[in-house]
A and B are shown apart, each in its own frame.
Chain A
C-alpha cells in the first residue's frame, strides 16, 4: 500500500492566521502525502494546528507557503471557484459537529452532496439510499437530524462524504462528540471506507480509542510534524476485531 502513488501531496506547508499582534503561525512547514487504501490519523494536542492543516489539505484554506497537489492538480493560484471544483471532484468531508442540514431528511442530506455535483433525479436518490444502507441507516432514511442520535447523525455525514466516491476523505475529530460505542462504529466505517473502497482517509483526532483503526499515525505539535508511526499490516485486522469484541462485551 505504501508504494501506491499518493492522491494528495503537501510540501512545505506554512499557514499564518490572524493579523497584526494576533498573528499566529499555525502550521510551520509540513510535508504530508496520502495514498489510497489507508486510514491515517493526525494526532496532537489542542492548538497544534490539526484543523488548520486539514483545511489546507481539503482546499478550504490556501497555504501561506508551500505546495499542495490533489489528484495530480497543483492548487497554487487556483480561484475559490476552482478550489470548490477540486473539492467537488475529489474530496469528502466529515465534521466534528456533523454539520447536517436540520431541515433536510437523512436521505436529502446525502442527496444534496450529489446535487451540488449536478447529479439529480432518481439515480441520485437510489445511490444515496444505497450509501445510507451501507452505513447502517437503511431504516432511518426519512428521519431528520433532530430525530437521530449523534452516532446516527455522524453516519449520515459519513454517507454524505462518500456518496460521490471521492478519492480522499477528510474528517475533523469525527468521534469527539460521540460516546464510545458510536465512536467505534464511526471509526470502523472510516477504516472500511479506506480498505474496502480504496480511498485515502485522514482523520484528525485526539481520541486514543481511534488508534486501533489506523494504518498510520502522524503526530503534530506546535505546527510541525514530530513523528509518524506505521502500524504493521498484519496487526490491523485482529486489533480492530479485538476492539469490536471489547465494545460488544461492554454493551
Chain B
C-alpha cells in the first residue's frame, strides 16, 4: 500500500509529475553530458599513453603531457637506460606539434607521432584502412578519419605537407581523437625526425619495457640515478600527469565537474520543490493516516517511495535522452563517453538527489498535527 499510495500521489497531479520528471531528466542529462565529456576528454588525453606498451616513460624533466614533452632526449639517455638491469628495451618516440599544410591552401596544427612499429612500443590502433606496413612507404602517414576534412583531403592516397615535407595518407584509424583539437599524425620515427628537422638521435620520450620479473620501483630508482636530466614515470603517473595538465591546469575539467555539480543541485532543488508541494497538497491525507494510527515511519516511507519512483522514472527518461546525445556526439571532435560505471554512478546520484529532496517534505509531515483531521 505504501507504493500504491506513493504511485497514486505522484500520478494524481500529472503536471507536477511532469515538472518533477523534467527536473530529474534535465539534471541527469546535464550530469551525464558533463561527466561523459570529462571521461571522453580523459580518454582522448591519455589514449596514446594507455595504448603504448611500456611500463616506464623516460621524459625530459618537467614534461607536462603526451603532446607537451618539453625538452628532447638523446641516445645517451637511451644507452644509459638500456644498461640498467631489468630493462629489456628502450624505444625512442618523437611527439611534436607541427603545421599541416592543406593541398588547397590553409594550414592546421597537428601532433606528429614518430614511432617504429617493429619496436612495438606505440603504433596507431583501430586501423580501418591500410596497415602499419603501408605507413613504412616513403612519406606515408596514418591519420584518423574524423579529421579528413580538417586536413583538406578526402582519404587514402591524398597528399599534403607537414612543415616542409610531403606526406601521403596511407592508413586511416577510427576514433583516435585529440583533446587539443590538433589531430595525431602517425609515421615512422626517422621520417618524423626528418620532417621536424630534428637530429637523428633525438627523441621526445623513451618507452621502457621491463623484464617480466623486474621490480618496477627498483628499476625506476636505478634509472633516475643514471639519468640526471630526465624523469622516469610509470605509465599511470604519466597518465595522471597528462590528465592534470589538460583538465585542471586549463580549467576544462573544473568546468565539466562544476557543470555536473550544478546539474545535481538544480535537479535536487526542482525535485525537492515538487515533492514538498505534493506533500503539502496531500497533507490532510497524511494527517488522516496519522490519526488512523500510522507510525511516522509509515508516512516517511510513502514520501520516500514517491521520491524513489520519481528517481527511477526520471532516470530512465534521462538515460534515454542522454543515450541519444551520446550517440550523436560520437562523430563530433569531442565525443561523450558513457560507460556502465557512469550509468551506475548516475543512478546513484539520482537516488541520492531524490532522497535529499525528500528531506523538506519529511520535515513538513513530521510537523503534522493529527488534530487537524477534525477541523475540516
Contacts and interface: CB of A to CB of B under 8 A. Distances in A.
Contacts of A86: 293
A115 interface: yes
Contacts of A51: 374-375
Contacts of B376: 95-97, 99
Size bracket, chain B contacts: 20 to 34
Interface string A49-63: 001001100101100
A116 B8 contact: no
Contact of A88 (B1, B12, B294): B294
Contacts of A54: 374
B290 A84 contact: yes
A117 B284 CA distance: 19
Contacts of A160: 292
A211 interface: no
Given A97-B376, A116-B294, A60 B4 contact: no
B2 interface: yes
A225 B85 CA distance: 104
By secondary structure, the B interface counts as: helix
Contacts of A113: 292
Contacts of B375: 51
A99 B295 contact: no
B83 interface: no
Contacts of B290: 84
Contacts of A96: 374, 376
B373 A88 contact: no
Interface string A36-71: 000000000000000100110010110000000000
Given A101-B285, A103-B5, A103-B9, A116 B373 contact: no
A103 B291 contact: no
A108 interface: yes
Given A87-B293, A116-B298, 15 more contacts: A60-B374, A84-B294, A84-B296, A88-B293, A95-B374, A99-B288, A99-B291, A99-B373, A104-B4, A108-B1, A112-B5, A113-B292, A115-B1, A116-B294, A117-B293
17 contacts: A60-B371, A85-B295, A86-B293, A87-B292, A95-B374, A95-B376, A96-B374, A97-B376, A99-B284, A101-B8, A101-B288, A104-B8, A108-B4, A112-B292, A115-B1, A120-B1, A172-B374
Q: Give the 10 A-B residue pairs with the shortest CB-CB distance, closest first.
A: A88-B293, A103-B8, A116-B294, A87-B293, A115-B1, A99-B288, A51-B374, A60-B370, A103-B12, A97-B376
Interface of B: 1-2, 4-5, 8-9, 12, 284-285, 288-296, 298, 370-371, 373-376
